[in-house]
Amino acid sequence: MPPVDQSLQPDGNVSRGTDSRLIKINHYGDVHINEELYERGGYFAAGGLASMTSRTVTAPIDRLKIYLISETHSKSPTWQHIKKGELIAAVVTAGRRLLGASRNVWDAGGVRSLWAGNGVNIVKMLPEGATKFGIYEVCDLIGAMDLCSSVTNLTLQTSRRLFATWEGVDSPADISVWAQTASGGIGGVAAQYVKIHCDKKTLSLPGGRRFIAYPLDTLRFRVQCNMQKNGHYGHRLLADTAKQMWRAGGLRPFFRGLPWGLLGQYPYSAIDLTMYEYTRRWWMQKNKSLGLSEADSRPNVIATAVIGGFSGAVGASVVWPLNLLRTRLQTSGTVVNPREYGSIMDVVRQTIAEEGWRGLWKGMTPNLIKVIPSVAITYVVYDKCKQTLDLS
């Protein structure tokens, strides 16, 4: 154990612990928390509150999205109008469908139906948002380049050891040329992931986050799809749904479709990162052509939010069919989606047979509508929280 430092400070305080910068205790026993610790904790708190507020405000749109994805009874002639070049008729038809779905959601429980499952969503988003923003600000304090360098080295060494084990050699230095090249590529991708997500304030582990949040998402989706007029609401519906899932197979129903959720996360991240980086470069080149310096040409907070929202929307649109199939598998056997599916391929077969290929993109419109207000609310609330907490 390292020695405990209890030296007397110039201000009369006694500093205890190996890191005197964080906690100070004076001779009266009063504990003084260093501003640096307070500031870093404040960033995490502000990020969690911002994400929670954003999801709560946009919860009705998300509720409509889940309803449209899970509902399998109706067909829309919107695509037929588009094929015939009847754009106005297509817009009118799509609008009527959204209004009809909104009416059905409202009839299931009024205002309570619009925010069904939001409590579960807050439990998921509070730590996730805190982590995203908190890590971003810490990256700002310690330097994103230092973090990228550390991630690159760690990933590179780990990859080399794995390749050494796979090839049956004693030392990572003895691995083949192609393994050396692959290790370097993996390290570079990891560093690029950290760098871009530091810029976007979305640094996290996609697979790990999905695995931890997945049971909560499944429970939330089934709560929303089991809500009906004159039925249970709130915590009673949540408890009934959780018990029903547990009786059906223990923990297994909570993780139904998880491999496909993980599979969809990686192409989404790849498209999201690529679109973000290219759009950001275009933005900087455009500003440089106007005579701005390298520093001034970088996108500000608002521009970063817009670019991030755009890249995320593009990524979500491309992998939307996989998201729809997974969600239907999660909500099978509910009031809104009474169908039973044996596997993901069974979902594909029944969806295409009943609704055609265009049915794979149901519910995407509310998701795109949600992007702009969700991003805007998150950044506005985060900025206001920083001002309230007097954070730099």
Q: Give the domain ranges of the chain.
A: 1-33, 35-134+212-388
Please say whether the beta carbons of 141 and 40 come within 8 A: yes
Phi and psi, residue 14, nearest 5°: -105, 125
pLDDT given for residue 178 in this prediction: 73
Closest CA relative to residue 41, chosen from 143, 119, 138: 138
Closest CA relative to residue 392, chosen from 52, 144, 35: 35
pTM of the predicted protein model: 0.69
Please say whether the beta carbons of 350 and 341 come within 8 A: yes
- Regarding the domain delimited by 35-134+212-388, which CATH topology (the fold level of the hierarchy) does it fall under? Mitochondrial carrier fold (1.50.40)
Distance CA(265)–CA(260), nearest Å, equals: 9
| 360 contacts: CB under 8 Å, gap ≥ 6 | 320, 321, 324, 325, 351, 352
Distance CA(362)–CA(1), nearest Å, equals: 60
pLDDT in tens, the chain (392 residues): 344 444 444 444 444 443 444 456 666 656 565 566 666 677 888 888 888 998 999 999 999 999 989 887 666 666 666 666 777 877 777 788 888 888 989 998 888 899 998 888 888 888 777 776 766 666 555 444 455 555 555 666 677 777 788 878 877 777 787 776 776 656 555 555 555 555 555 545 444 556 678 888 999 999 999 988 877 888 899 999 999 999 998 989 999 988 888 787 778 767 876 787 788 888 888 888 888 887 788 887 778 778 877 887 888 888 899 999 999 999 999 999 988 898 899 999 999 888 888 888 888 888 888 877 887 788 788 878 888 888 76
Please say whether the beta carbons of 257 and 344 come within 8 A: yes
Rg over CA atoms, the chain: 25
pLDDT given for residue 91 in this prediction: 76
Name the token pair of 389.
């907490």
pLDDT given for residue 31 in this prediction: 58
